[in-house]
Chains A and B, each alone.
Chain A
Amino acid sequence: MEFQIPDFYPAAAELFVAGMALLVLLVVSFVRRGATVAYWLTQVTVVGMAAVALLSGRDVGFTFGQMYIDDPLGDFLKLWVALSVLTSLFYGRRYLIDRGLESAEYYLISMFAMLGSMILISAGSLLTVYLGLEMLSLSSYALVAINRDSTQSTEAGMKYFVLGALASGLLLYGISMVYGATQTLNIIDVARALFEQQANRPVLMFGLVFVVAGVGFKMGAVPFHMWLPDVYQGAPTAVTLLIASAPKLAAFAMAFRLLAVGFWDFAQQWQMMLILLAIGSLVIGNLGAIAQTNIKRMLAFSTIGHMGFILLGLASGVVGGERYLADNAYSAALFYVVTYVLTTLASFGMVLLMSRAGFEADQISDFKGLNKRNSWWAAMMSIVMFSMAGIPFFVGFFSKFLVLQFVVATDHVWLAVLAVMMSLIGAFYYLRVVKLMYFDEPLDESPIVAGVGVRLVLSANVLSIAALGLFPNLLMYFCSLVIHGSF
């Protein structure tokens, strides 16, 4: 076989990030105040990555022997990853400095986590999926445990690592079965083998189950959710924000590429599995959130509930063998994921804003009487909470509504009823936060200190939730466009 130089162009964004990461590694070894330099270089890298992703990709392109895909979905998600990493690092910086956690390593590892997300998003082969997943996961384990002196933080890191390793093992096991049945690792070839019915179906079904388990773990869907509340609570809030946002985009891409592309001919089967995961996530996520007193933990359970909705969207593609709804249903799930990430950034951004040196503000009761302390931030937090509860005119309503539309279209009216009932339960604990802010007396009267930049960006972030709630059309259209272009 003749050696060919691969076409690097489709992977330009990833190569850029990898190069910059190595450069930063080198630079911070030689400068003083390495953390500050690393912070700014990382932010430049993130912005640069967005620019490269935007400029480099137009149509669908493959490289590295089809192990790598550059398509509109990938570019779109990478832009969102850039946005979320950019804001996460920005919101979290003061928190880290206050606690003496800011270091060059933190930003480097964040950059590698981002790279992992990007590889996962653009994976064209099962091996690339695994590569991206591990890169993302290993970086996340390290980030969660970055506060070495905190038992909570290291415990969370340990839990995350053990369960994550187990999930990776499951996924790898599934991949090996798929390979055994189809003799290929390339996702499109897997789909072709399924379509031509050459493969051994029972083995593939086994493989599918493990693949779904791997996807479920990454998303945090019940029953693979055990790590999520502990990790969200135990990690420093800045890290929680980082692992709650961008990786969800990658997990969506992973689910889409593996299930909707690779296992397309098994859609009926994996839809049933996803529906079960979705029901579990909706029920456990929303019921579990009620009992929480720690806001990070509450948001963790609410994440599980939101994942239930995303899974519902993914599970509503194929009706009785008919597939005409599929790309619209996946667009709905994509819309849900990106708006969810936007809302999550704002919610943890608020938690970060409320915290200060020596004070975590991670109890729900820390929000008591916020309206009396500062009515602007109380209003901002209520917008976030109402949006998560799915109350119009905020974007959370439209993302739920769009997904429900396809759930009903697949004739699963009962599932839609279950989902709305669980949203009702969800409304209870979101409203409780609003209640504390508006109806209760503040516990401490200290003003909220934050830099002008953080205040502006966080306000813009929240107001974008409101603006998208009034005018969601453009984003919906984009989501549908990228799914059409990549499916």
Chain B
Amino acid sequence: MTGVPYLSLSIWIPIFGGLLTLASGSDRNAGIARVIALITAIAGLAVTLPLFAHFDVASAAMQFQEDAAWIPYMRINYSLGVDGISMPFVLLNSFITLIVIVAGWEVIQTKVAQYMAAFLIMSGLLNGIFSALDGVLFYVFFEASLIPLYLIIGIWGGANRVYAALKFFLYTLLGSLLMLVAFIYLFQHSGGSFSILDWHDLKLSESSQAWIFWAFLLSFAVKVPMWPVHTWLPDAHVEAPTGGSVVLAAIALKLGAYGFLRFSLPIVPDAAQYFAPLMITLSLIAVIYIGFVALVQTDMKKLVAYSSISHMGFVTLGFFMFNQLGVEGALVQMISHGFVSGAMFLCIGVLYDRMHSRQIADYGGVVNRMPKFAALFMLFAMANAGLPATSGFVGEFMVILGAVKFNFWIGFAAAITLIMGAAYTLWMYKRVVFGAVGNSHVAELEDINKREFAFLAVLAVCVLVMGLYPLPITEVMHASVTDLLQHVAAGKL
């Protein structure tokens, strides 16, 4: 282990870089803000690479640990660390942040410094969430990350942005406040420790496990989002600017699922098992019902938003079957979804920047004018549908295998999503891209420029590499997942 505090750097470089960007001033010299933001994002990504390079795949323990007293009066520590479950997300987050900064380069013309700063600060906060090993530290990052996203949606969003921003904020705050009470309860019962790892070993009675499970559930279910608390997501997505949608889909949605793995499963394993049928039912509803809802959307962003809910239903389904394939498949699905949904929103953003419409009906025959774009969009649409050789396939296939192992009919129901996913994504793709040129606006479209090509191509490479050779990622998470499942199976009663 090296002595460099990579995790702290991955949190604080973006935050301080963001503040610097903010200080760099007004729209008159927006160029400076853009450059500072880009440098910060690159630096932020660079410091996370050693996490991957120096990661010990054989160990399930927390790595790159940092520990310092933060608020000794309340026994809150600044303790960080990552295991195989959280490490990939730190990388994903820093990577997506870079993409978002590049994607917003020319598109954002008002309050550039604030826009870039909001994304950078949020990136740091999200890294904090994934690497916090202290409950309060986790909570603090978790809550604080609401502020930049609230502002992003509200300032740069679409027509109904205020409603969407407020709904997003209050929904997620509702969940997390109950989690805070649960944290305090755990603190009292663990003899005064906020350490998440201490909580993992804390014995809890059946009834308190049930209460804590519900407090966590409300908090994380809103974030995932699971049916029926998903309604904030389509609103937030539709009204958010492209960058906001990308971060929301690629990273923010993963927080809830990550919370299940870091908190619900290990801290209250017996309650998790007891309520597993409920969770599986809710997940299946999300997978199938929301799949149908996605099918009838007329707004592209809404369609992808609903498809995200459906895909995240797959993730929670994988978790609550408690087998290796299911959990690992769900984790792969989370990362893949980060790339794919991010790319889908970027593609829609590319179209939106040119046409200022998200309605499927306003398009048609885009391929005639934008062949390069159409090719890349095709790849992402296929990945979203779960086509083999793309990253979307790997995770879904693993979860379905896990589900079949658990119960054939659950696996069968989950497999419906492959059909649904193909149906809504490809149908949308067909209506937007294929056919004759739809109208005069489409006829005037210009193909993607070098900058747009660059970030879409990078994502395309990620999607393909992960689809063809997922081993490096599954290898990283294997030990941690095995350990987690043993822990859950052992129970706490």
Contacts and interface: CB of A to CB of B under 8 A. Distances in A.
A357 interface: no
B174 to A, nearest CB: 6
Contact of B72 (A392, A432, A473): A473
Contact of A391 (B114, B147, B151, B174): B147
B77 to A, nearest CB: 11
B73 A473 contact: yes
Contact of A472 (B71, B161, B165, B184): B71
A206 interface: no
Interface residues of A, number: 36
Given A375-B114, A392-B143, A438 B72 contact: no
B157 to A, nearest CB: 8
Given A397-B140, A435-B165, A405 B178 contact: no
Interface stretch (A197-205, A253-261, A263-271, A417-425): A417-425
A187 interface: no
A480 interface: yes
Contacts of B70: 473
A427 B175 CA distance: 13
B140 A393 contact: yes
Interface in B142-170: 143-144, 146-147, 150-151, 154-155, 161-162, 165-166, 169-170
A408 interface: yes
B67 to A, nearest CB: 16
Nearest to B142: A392
Interface-central residue, A375, A386, A408, A476, by most chain B CB under 10 Å: A408
Interface in A160-203: none
Contacts of A476: 71, 73-74
Given A397-B140, A416-B184, A421 B154 contact: no
A450 B161 CA distance: 33
Given A423-B177, A427-B169, A435 B162 contact: yes
Given A393-B144, A421-B177, A438-B155, A405 B184 contact: yes
Contact of A417 (B144, B150, B173, B178): B178
Contact of B188 (A409, A423, A477): A409
B177 A420 contact: yes
Contacts of B150: 431, 434
B320 to A, nearest CB: 26
Contacts of A138: none
A378 to B, nearest CB: 10
Contact of B74 (A405, A423, A427, A432): A405
Nearest to B175: A424
A402 interface: yes
Interface-central residue, A393, A416, A439, by most chain B CB under 10 Å: A439
A424 B185 contact: no
A428 interface: yes
B458 interface: no
B185 A413 contact: yes
Given A392-B140, A438-B154, A473 B173 contact: no
Interface-central residue, A393, A402, A432, by most chain B CB under 10 Å: A393
A404 interface: yes
B177 A424 contact: yes
Nearest to B174: A424
Interface string B134-145: 001001110110
B289 interface: no
Contacts of A477: 73
A111 B151 CA distance: 42
Contacts of A471: 71
Contacts of A393: 140, 144
Interface string A440-467: 0000000000000000000000000000
A420 to B, nearest CB: 4
Given A397-B140, A397-B143, A424-B177, A435 B184 contact: no
Contacts of B143: 391-392, 397
Contacts of A16: none
Contacts of A420: 177-178, 180-181
B113 to A, nearest CB: 9
B154 A417 contact: no
Nearest to B76: A473
A377 to B, nearest CB: 14
Interface in A376-413: 382, 386, 391-393, 397-398, 401-402, 404-405, 408-409, 413
A408 B188 contact: yes
A173 to B, nearest CB: 39
Contacts of B188: 405, 408-409
Nearest first, the 9 closest Cβ-Cβ pairs linking A and B are A420-B177, A392-B140, A476-B73, A408-B184, A439-B154, A473-B71, A416-B181, A392-B144, A392-B143
Interface of B: 70-74, 111, 114, 136, 139-141, 143-144, 146-147, 150-151, 154-155, 161-162, 165-166, 169-170, 173-174, 177-178, 180-181, 184-185, 187-188
14 contacts: A375-B114, A392-B144, A398-B71, A401-B74, A405-B74, A405-B184, A405-B188, A408-B185, A417-B181, A420-B180, A435-B162, A438-B155, A476-B73, A477-B73
Interface of A: 371, 375, 382, 386, 391-393, 397-398, 401-402, 404-405, 408-409, 413, 416-417, 420-421, 423-424, 427-428, 431-432, 434-435, 438-439, 471-473, 476-477, 480
Given A386-B147, A397-B140, 16 more contacts: A375-B111, A392-B139, A392-B144, A413-B185, A417-B178, A417-B181, A423-B177, A428-B166, A431-B166, A435-B154, A435-B162, A435-B166, A439-B154, A439-B161, A439-B162, A476-B73
